[in-house]
Amino acid sequence: AQKITQTQPGMFVQEKEAVTLDCTYDTSDPSYGLFWYKQPSSGEMIFLIYQGSYDQQNATEGRYSLNFQKARKSANLVISASQLGDSAMYFCAMSPSTGNQFYFGTGTSLTVIP
Amino acid sequence: DAGVTQSPTHLIKTRGQHVTLRCSPISGHKSVSWYQQVLGQGPQFIFQYYEKEERGRGNFPDRFSARQFPNYSSELNVNALLLGDSALYLCASSQKGRPSGANVLTFGAGSRLTVL
């Protein structure tokens, strides 16, 4: 069975500070992809960052980085220098090699405080 | 370039009715996936179509059906609506089938369905 767990329903961060959003996953597939998406109140899911299960380096995309700890099955998102526009829901998702779908977590609501 | 477009954006139906939701993928994308997002939850996979063939189906009842047209646009149909079908229905497109770093899913803004 595939499962994504996000244990932080809501997070607050001061503008310009860094924040870490937690994600753990469970899968028996040896090969999988991990994704983070941002969902503003408009509803559209915006792709942020991707990490492959065999990637040796942690992924980075601008202010986003993924802290991938394979043995712990965790894929935490780090947002550096938070901006007011970062306030949104954030979803961690996994795509195993055996299927064509995403498994999503329940999301974390991030609020950036001026 | 146009992103993934979905219509309608909002709609209200009553129990027992039927609904059709539409999705136009990004130009050049041949795969369309549908997800249901109930308020306060993460999206749940419903269907995936690639090259007009169903390539995946989630754990949804037979009241849910979909199809993909020759231009790669797609429709999601839900019959005999229940209150629990109230949700945001998201469509996502990609060039190929399985999501990966080289085949990222791009989502539309969704169709928000309310069943009364």
The answer to whether the beta carbons of residues A64 and A49 sit under 8 Å apart is yes
Computed over every residue of chain A, the mean pLDDT equals 95
Comparing CB atoms, the residue among A47, A100, A104 nearest residue B43 is: A104
List, in order, residues 6 or more apart from B63 with CB less than 8 Å away. Answer: B78, B79, B80
Can you give the pLDDT at residue A97? 84
Tokens for A88, please give them: 């949104």
A36 and B CB contact within 8 Å = no
Contact B56, A100 (CB under 8 A): yes
Span A37-90, pLDDT tens digits? 999 998 899 999 999 999 989 999 999 999 999 999 999 999 999 999 999 999
Q: Is the peptide bond before B8 cis (omega within 30 degrees of 0)?
A: yes
DSSP symbol at A84? G
> Exposed, middle or buried by CB within 10 Å (0-12, 13-18, 19+), for B37?
buried
- pLDDT of res. B1: 64
Search chain B and give the residue with CA nearest A107: B42
Give CA–CA dist A106/A41, Å, rounded: 15
The neighbour count for residue B15, using CB atoms within 10 Å, is 11
DSSP3 helix / strand / coil % (chain A, rounded to 5): 5, 55, 45
Per-residue b or e along B74-98, where b marks 16 or more CB atoms closer than 10 Å to that residue's CB: bbbebeebeeebbbbbbbbbbeebb
Assess A103–B contact: CB distance below 8 Å, yes or no. yes
Take residue A45 and report the two structure tokens written for it: 């899911």
Instruction: Tell me the chain B residues in contact with residue A101 when contact means C-beta distances shorter than 8 Å.
Output: 33, 45, 48, 56, 58, 99
Distance from CA of A99 to the nearest CA of B (A): 7
- Asked whether the predicted pLDDT for residue A21 surpasses 80, the reply is yes
Give the whole-angstrom CA distance, residue B57 versus residue B48: 7
What residues of B are in contact with residue A46 (Cβ under 8 Å)? 107
Is the Cβ pair B100, A50 closer than 8 Å?
yes
Q: What is the pLDDT of residue A98?
A: 80
Q: Is B55 left (phi over 0), alpha (psi -120 to 50) or beta?
A: alpha
Average pLDDT per 10 consecutive residues for chain B, totaling 116 residues = 91 98 96 96 95 94 97 97 98 87 89 98
Please say whether the beta carbons of A49 and A81 come within 8 A: no
pLDDT of residue A99: 78
Identify which of A35, A100, A103 has the shortest CB distance to residue B98: A100
Nearest CA-CA partner of B94 in B41, B46, B50: B50
Query: What pLDDT sits at residue A71?
Result: 94
| Pairing of β A19-21 and β A74-79 | antiparallel
